[in-house]
Amino acid sequence: MTKPLSPTDTSHGPDAGSTSPPGPFKEFWNYFCENRGALAGLIVFIMICLMAVFAAWIAPHSPSEQYRDSFLVPPFWSDGGTTRFILGTDAVGRDIFSRLIYGARYSLIIGGIVVSLSLTVGIPLGLIAGFARGVTEIIIMRAMDIMLALPSLLLAVVIVAILGPGLFNAMLAISIVYLPHLVRLTRAAAITELSKDYVTASRVSGAGILRLMFITILPNCMAPLIVQATLSFSSAILDAAALGFLGMGAQPPTPEWGTMLAEAREFVLRAWWVVTFPGLAILITVLALNLLGDGLRDALDPKLKRQ
């Protein structure tokens, strides 16, 4: 957890600096822990991460092994269920519990890649727009406006249609769709910071444009970006699942949760377990991330801190 937050340490450096006695990270951590929801979210999220990393050891079965004698076995507590398949099996006899565990990997990968992709493209674009002003700014911001005018899921569907259905293309599409918000946010933060004294000071002392952008200003815009990143992480999981559900995300037999749900749709009335569990897994993961994001925002946002 400490890694992504380190920039905030420095954020207090120039203005607040050494006057705050407990140290910025400790202060943040105290605020964060006060929020029990956020803590719960963090714990669940860590559990999901562990599940993803150690899937091979935790999962009782291989996610792709088809037990030809056990099609659509219900969960163990239902009639006809067996403890061999705790949450039952799907239409070709694969263990749902194991698939869900492996599915955690995909969700984390999706969230991670989407966030890093959109950050690596969005932050520089936003900074450029904030620094350059004039024509460059207008072009960048107009382009973002155009993208914002298209409903995000629709835009993502069209991009996937261009690139072809598949997990990676879905992630790419979602990253593109998330750009406008990120660019706007970075630009707004950069413009606010640009007018501050410390920036003028560093400019006067001869700092280059790149240094100004990435070393002087960026760390000070980090707080809203971190919050946005956490929230994008959870939205990415939801949107990838929606694309999977429309048949445009990960392709079966990938145990991605949205794709599992799409495959299970025909069993809505006959085998509730193949429909219920993947959806529940999505809900829990996204909920945990959102709790975490809320906690981060409250802890990082000085305005709410004072209350």
Helix, strand, coil shares of the chain as percentages rounded to 5? 75, 0, 25
Q: How far from each other are the two terminal CA atoms of the chain, in whole angstroms?
A: 25
**Least Å from the CB of residue 8 to other proteins:** 21
Q: Which residues in 152-181 contact other proteins (CB under 8 A)?
A: 152-154, 157-159, 161-162, 164-165
User: Is 279 a residue that touches other proteins (CB under 8 A)?
Assistant: yes
For residue 82, with 0-12 CB atoms within 10 Å meaning exposed, 13-18 middle and 19 or more buried, which class applies?
Answer: middle
Pick from 84, 133, 142, 305: which binds other proteins (CB under 8 A)?
Answer: 142
Dist. CA 286–CA 292, nearest whole Å: 10
User: Is 282 a residue that touches other proteins (CB under 8 A)?
Assistant: yes
Nearer to other proteins, 58 or 163 (CB): 163
Nearer to other proteins, 49 or 268 (CB): 268
* Residue that has been written with the tokens 């990082």 in this structure: 300
User: Is 252 a residue that touches other proteins (CB under 8 A)?
Assistant: yes
**Least Å from the CB of residue 214 to other proteins:** 28
Q: Which residues in 186-225 contact other proteins (CB under 8 A)?
A: none
Dist. CA 190–CA 145, nearest whole Å: 19
Dist. CA 133–CA 141, nearest whole Å: 10
User: Is 129 a residue that touches other proteins (CB under 8 A)?
Assistant: no
**Least Å from the CB of residue 199 to other proteins:** 21
Dist. CA 139–CA 175, nearest whole Å: 20
DSSP state of 150: S
Count of H-run helices and E-run strands, the chain: 14, 0
* Residue that has been written with the tokens 């981060």 in this structure: 296
Residues in contact with other proteins, counted by CB under 8 A, come to a total of 62
Query: Which residues of this chain interact with other proteins, rule CB under 8 A?
Result: 37, 66, 68, 71-72, 91-93, 142-143, 145-154, 157-159, 161-162, 164-165, 234, 238, 241-242, 245-247, 251-253, 258, 261, 263, 265-272, 275-276, 278-279, 282-283, 286-287, 289-291, 294, 303, 307
